[in-house]
Amino acid sequence: MAATTLPAQHVTAWRPAVPGVTEVFHAHFTEYAYPMHVHEAWTLLIVDDGAVRYDLDRHEHGTPDDTVSLLPPHVPHNGSPATPDGFRKRVIYLDRTHLGDELIGPAVDGPDLRDPVLRQRVGQLHTALRGPGEEFEAESRLTLIGDRLRTLLRPRSYGEPARRDPALARRLRELLDERVVAGLSLEAAALVLGAHPAHLVRAFSSAYGIAPHQYLTSRRVDRARGLLLAGDGPAEVAALTGFHDQAHLTRHFKRLVGVTPGRYRVSARRSTEGARPVIGGG
């Protein structure tokens, strides 16, 4: 007797410590169909494999893998696979602090947005939301996503060129320099500096060619290098430089330096002793 193949249903959900994000939801469904329902939050959806068809406000829509779908709160919608192998999706549910009710109408009229910049930013946000320690990056990316969505949905109101503000960028850099280890949230920085979070990120990136979260991470890695050269262990260094844990330090250290903190520490010690330096990752 042939074995019965059951429909695939794989789900992962969590609530990150990022203001405005009520839930992150990743799922792979082959046959499951959502009935008509509503959410209190905004639904920001990308499909990585397959496609979804859904009805929103009595109109049929679809989500091929080059779109970002934005479903507004309290508007009924359903969802079902539009391809034989089902679909794999990533969803972020946002409260109404990032997107106001004035966008509900435009989102109902055009929920599926084909915009490569927005798609890339949403993917980057999901990466930042995967684990603890990247909250500052997630806040920055979420702020720019909200800004992009407003531009796409209400282009006449939000399509003006970004305004350069080097003085504000310098003040944010000084604030980050003061808080390299302690860190701070984008929301807190905006309150201290009296600026909108999106303007903060744009001004800093325009002035220095690097996003605020990238700058802060680079400063932390620089401090970590000095402590490792002094002989401190990676776990201790992570705690002393503002990283969440050793794994968090290792991920960023290897990306910026090319080797893990442990191999960097060993190579530095061997170099001092006159031995051949260790090269490569690990």
Paired residues of 46 in beta bridges? 90
> What is residue 197's predicted lDDT score, i.e. its pLDDT?
92
> What is residue 236's predicted lDDT score, i.e. its pLDDT?
96
Q: What is the mean pLDDT of residues 8-30?
A: 90
> What is residue 98's predicted lDDT score, i.e. its pLDDT?
84
> Residue for token digits 């910049």?
117
> What is residue 4's predicted lDDT score, i.e. its pLDDT?
43
Q: What is the DSSP letter of 57?
A: T
Using the Cα atoms of residue 257, residue 258, residue 261 and residue 264 in order, give the sign of their dihedral.
Answer: negative
Q: How far apart are CA 205 and CA 212, in angstroms?
A: 7
- pLDDT, one tens digit per residue, over 200-250 is 999 999 999 899 999 999 999 999 999 999 999 999 999 999 999 999 999
> What is residue 3's predicted lDDT score, i.e. its pLDDT?
43
> What is residue 272's predicted lDDT score, i.e. its pLDDT?
53
> What is residue 10's predicted lDDT score, i.e. its pLDDT?
87
- pLDDT, one tens digit per residue, over 49-103 is 998 889 898 788 888 768 999 999 999 989 888 888 888 999 999 998 888 899 9
Q: What is the mean pLDDT of residues 12-36?
A: 91
The answer to whether 72 and 107 are in contact (CB under 8 A) is yes
The answer to whether 29 and 81 are in contact (CB under 8 A) is yes
Measured in whole angstroms, the distance separating CA 206 from the mean position of its chain's CA atoms is 20
